[in-house]
Amino acid sequence: MSDVQGTWLIEFVKKSLLEVQEYVKLCFAAVRGAFTRPFYARDVMEQIEVIGIGSLTVVLLTGFFTGAVMALQSGIMLDQFGARPYVGRLISATLIKELGPVLTALMLAGRVGSGIAAELGSMMVTEQISALRALGTDPMRKLVVPRVLAGFIMCPILTVVANTVGMLGGWIIALTELRVSSGVYWSGVVEGLFMQDVWMGLIKPFFLGFVIVTIGCHVGLRTSGGTQGVGRATTNAVVAASVVVLVVDFFVTRLLISILF
């Protein structure tokens, strides 16, 4: 390895460790700010509307067509074993435990993570955050904490909505394309679910929502370089949040399996 390559590798490692350190500091500061005064309740409600209501359309479409295509694909596969009536059981178990939380989180990473990074990045390059500090307002409490709370609250709710719509989409396909009766489909949905699966599907979105919003805030607050920097920050936030969602999903799933099963 040449000296140039060695220097580049050292600088890359240093920069990566610095980013991780700053991200961890932001997470601790956000958690501390959520439990100490002052509280900005109005900002929290505004972010709940932006993150929750604003993401409802994309979550509904994603959930519906995910359930529909799962019914189509699983119906073809189950036909080979004469088990078409079990399509409801397969959809409910897969959607509730894994696909619902992950796909909802990925949609939020694309919409919410990029939006937060672009908004905070624009405030950084135009020195609005410096102005907040000059006025005696903590940007962490004013800008980051409301977004983190909103993402933490709304991600599980949006996941439940996506799961419900996904099972409705599967029911429509099972009824119209697979000729499975409604009673057989919904009884399979209930039989395919265990309480551990429900808890797993409800707990994971809390972690995923927290990760998505904190990454968007971290990338946004470290933006520099004018409008080009805002564009880079937006791209980095989406990529980082999407990858970390999959990583966190794996480790949280491992943890929950060891606890619940």
* Percent above pLDDT 70 for the chain: 98
Kindly indicate the confidence band of residue 86, based on its pLDDT and cuts at 50, 70 and 90: confident
Q: In sequence order, what are the residues at sequence separation of 6 or more whose Cβ sits closer than 8 angstroms to the Cβ of residue 212? A: 105, 108, 109, 112, 113, 151, 155, 241, 245
Q: What is the mean pLDDT of the segment spanning 79-97?
A: 84
For residue range 159-186, what is the model confidence (pLDDT) as tens digits? 999 999 999 999 999 988 888 888 888 9
Q: What is the mean pLDDT of the segment spanning 46-72?
A: 92
Q: Is the pLDDT of residue 76 over 60?
A: yes
* Percent above pLDDT 90 for the chain: 46
pLDDT of residue 2: 58
Q: What is the mean pLDDT of the segment spanning 223-248?
A: 90
| Cα atoms in the Cβ-side hemisphere of radius 13 Å centred on 33 | 23
Q: Residue 208 and residue 193: Cα distance in Å, rounded? A: 22
pLDDT of residue 127: 85
CA angle 143/233/58 to nearest 5° reads 75
| Distances in whole angstroms, Cα of residue 35 to Cα of each of 30, 39, 88, 223, 253 | 9, 8, 42, 27, 27
Place of tokens 């993401």: 55
Place of tokens 């509280």: 39
pLDDT of residue 144: 92
Residue ranges covered by each domain of the chain: 55-260
Q: What is the mean pLDDT of the segment spanning 28-33?
A: 90
Kindly indicate the confidence band of residue 78, based on its pLDDT and cuts at 50, 70 and 90: confident
Closest CA to 130 of 118, 145, 116, 120: 120
Mean pLDDT for the chain? 89
pTM: 0.89
